[in-house]
Every structure is written in C-alpha cells, then in structure tokens.
C-alpha cells in the first residue's frame, strides 16, 4: 500500500486545463490497476499506484455535476460573459458550484485502496480534514444530514451556510475532483446559482466568518497537515 502523496500547488489555472491534467493522472492510475490484475493472475509482483494531491485556484467558473440541473445556473451565456465566468458540465457527482480566486480547490487524485477507503469514507475524511482546519481559526463547522460538504450553524436552518463544497468521481477505487473551500472568495458569484441545488441555504467564506482577510498560504499548510492526519498520507 503506497501512502506517499505527490503534492503540487498549481496556483491560478484554467479549469479545463486542470481538469485535463486530472484526467491524465486518473487514467495513469487506472491503467496500473488494470495491469496489476494481469500480473496477479500470472502470480507476479504488482506495481504500486501513485497518489496525487493538487491545490489550485480557478478563474471564475461554474461547474455542473452529472446529477445536477442546468436550471440551477441562473444566468444565460451572454450574462456569463459579462461577469467573466465560464461554465462546464463535468463528470463528478453533485449539482452546480462556483470556483474562483480566493478559494482553495483541492483535487486528490489517488487510489483509495492505498488508504483502505471506499467513496463514503473518503468523502467523510475530506469533510473531517476541513472541519479540523477551521478549528484553527475558531470556526466551528459540521456535516449536514443528507448533504455533502462542510457547513456552519446546522442546528439553525435559517442560518445554515456552506463553507466547503465536495464532489468526486471514482472508478475502480480511484478518485478525482474533490473540494472547494471558500477562503477570501467573492461570494456574490454564488448569487448567480442555486449552490449545490439548494435554494434555502447560504454560502460563506473564512474571511467573512473571521471578519478579516485570511492568509491563504497558511490555510493550505494547515489543510495539508490535516489531510495527512485524517488519511494517513505522507505528503511530499
């Protein structure tokens, strides 16, 4: 079981360019796992599968998961151009969300079997790492019943708001896509969608919760450490 994880901070990168890169890494891991099946049949030693963790930010973009409704995008394509935003239908689970500057988008692309995970436990672990990170900023966050992601004030329906969205794709226990954590995010862009399909829940950022701009590099370092702890990763 290879628990080493190759970390790469891609900075600000076009969504499609990053998606293509994820797909390339994802396919490489899938191909190794398929080779391993043949090697096992022949009684030969199998190959270790690599693991990757990508952090990045994207220019303004809305992405719609395969189970989502395009009606949750509240703009037409001319209006998207006016706000310098793009739109993609993509192959993760979940509905619509927004990515933009000031947000940490995390893409773990790895073999879940290296860490003894199934999809449910994997998503639970992503939520746990974010919840732990937020405690460093004295922000208490939780899971919301029947919804993925990380939320605040879940016991007060009129105040419940999301700070981190999660949507993944998995095949043969290999995962891609991941999470979007609002740090210094321009929240007005969420008013152009029904975030994750919800019309009765708010969206927030760490900046809004603590009342001042946050050092995003510090958040990244804390988050990497929490991901390492939760999943037992050795992040390089």
Residue 152: strand pairing partners: 161
CA 211 vs. chain centroid, Å, equals 24
Known active-site residue 196: yes
Of the candidates 196, 204, 203, 15, which has an alpha carbon nearest to the alpha carbon of residue 96?
A: 196
Q: Is 75 exposed, middle or buried (0-12, 13-18, 19+ CB in 10 A)?
A: middle
Question: Of the listed 18, 56, 164, 196, which one is catalytic?
Answer: 196
Instruction: Return phi, psi of residue 88, to 5°.
Output: -135, 135
Q: In whole angstroms, what is the distance from residue 166 CA to residue 119 CA?
A: 12
- Note whether 33 and 49 are within 8 A (CB): yes
- Positions marked catalytic: 196
């Amino acid at each position: 079981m290879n628990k080493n994880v190759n970390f790469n901070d891609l900075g600000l990168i076009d969504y499609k360019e990053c998606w293509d890169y994820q797909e390339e890494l994802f396919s490489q891991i899938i191909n190794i796992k398929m080779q391993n099946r043949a090697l096992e049949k022949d009684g030969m030693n199998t190959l270790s599968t690599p693991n990757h963790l990508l952090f990045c930010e994207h220019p303004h973009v809305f992405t719609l998961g395969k189970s989502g409704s395009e009606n949750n995008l509240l703009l037409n394509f001319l209006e998207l151009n006016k706000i310098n935003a793009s739109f993609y239908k993509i192959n993760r689970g979940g509905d619509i969300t927004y990515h933009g500057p000031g947000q940490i988008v995390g893409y773990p692309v790895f073999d879940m079997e290296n860490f003894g995970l199934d999809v449910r436990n994997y998503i639970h672990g992503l939520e746990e790492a974010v919840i732990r990170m937020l405690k460093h900023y004295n922000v208490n966050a939780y899971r919301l019943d029947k919804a993925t992601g990380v939320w605040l004030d879940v016991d007060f329906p009129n105040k419940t708001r999301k700070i981190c969205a999660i949507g993944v794709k998995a095949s043969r226990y290999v995962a891609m896509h991941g999470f979007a954590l609002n740090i210094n995010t321009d929240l007005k862009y969420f008013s152009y969608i029904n975030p994750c399909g919800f019309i009765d829940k708010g969206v927030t950022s760490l900046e809004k919760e603590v009342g001042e701009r946050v050092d995003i590099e510090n958040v990244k370092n804390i988050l990497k450490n929490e991901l390492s702890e939760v999943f037992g990763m050795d992040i390089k």
